[in-house]
Amino acid sequence: MIYAHAKPRHIAPTLGFLILLVPLLLISVFYIHSVQAQIHSQTPTTLPSTKILEQLKSIEIEKINHGVTTQKHVNRLDEKRQEYAHEYRQTLKQNSNLEKYNRQLRQTIQSQDDEIDLLQNQIKRIAHLERDIVPLMVDMLDALKIFVELDVPFLRQERFERIATLRGLLSNGKVSNSEKYRRILEAYQIENDYGRTIEAYPGEISSELKAQETQSVTFFKVGRIAYMYQTLDKSKSFRWNQKQQIWQLLDEHYNRKIDTGIKMAREQIPSNLMFIPIDTALLHTPITPSTVSM
């Protein structure tokens, strides 16, 4: 193989200078562009505008408002929690009170059940009581009538009328047996009170001169130990003799004393000691409704 050597060519000086200058120019242009790009990229962060500041302020205000809203929501939740806790404590208290009330109510119901049983047993015995109470009331009226007949004859008509009224009451089906029994006991109490009171009342008695005529007098009784009357002119006074069943004329010196007793009974003068004649037979043989036998 035959190699041929080429002869070297000589480059002109101007062309070589241009070749060296072109890269330098390119490098300078690239550097300038890079610096400008860097400046443009750093300008927004280092030099904030008014618009960006407003945006940041708006963001912060929004965060604050959101925090306030959140806090209000938390406060409402806490209030609800306290309300529910209070209601829970109240419910526990009410439950405790209801348990106590139920225990007491059970005891009350048990007591009422016992009372019902007792009443039912009593109702079963009512029929027997009804059969026994009616004859008892009849016997009580018979005994009261005998007692009035044997007793000192004061207010005799009034006392017999009371007994007759009670007998009519026994036959009245509209009146309960309890009311009938109460009225009979009331009559017994009235008779009992007669023996502890003094009383003066007007009345009439057969005339001493003419048996067919009557005269007005003032009757005066002291319990059951003395029963008297005095004429309206206060000139004569009589005492009832229970043993002989007659009126006895008293000495004149008793007229003033009996008149004083009448005024005391009518409450015309204050009560005081009285000196009056009494029937000693009544002191030794007292009669009460309970001693009358049928």
> Which residue ranges make up each domain of the chain?
198-294
- Over residues 183-209, the pLDDT tens digits come to 999 999 999 999 999 999 999 988 665
- Looking at 139-225, which runs of residues are DSSP E strands? 198-206, 214-222
- Give the model's pLDDT for residue 284: 47
Decide if pLDDT at 212 tops 70.
no
Amino acid at 269: I
Decide if pLDDT at 287 tops 70.
no
- Give the model's pLDDT for residue 38: 56
Mean per-residue pLDDT, 229-248? 92
Mean per-residue pLDDT, 147-165? 94
pLDDT band at 56 (very low <50, low <70, confident <90, very high): confident
Per the model's pLDDT, the better-predicted residue between 171 and 287 turns out to be: 171
Angle, alpha carbons 169-170-173 (nearest 5°): 85
Query: Which of 106, 195, 187, 101 minimizes the C-alpha distance to 145?
Result: 187
Query: Is pTM beyond 0.85 here?
Result: no
Decide if pLDDT at 260 tops 70.
yes
- Give the model's pLDDT for residue 55: 83
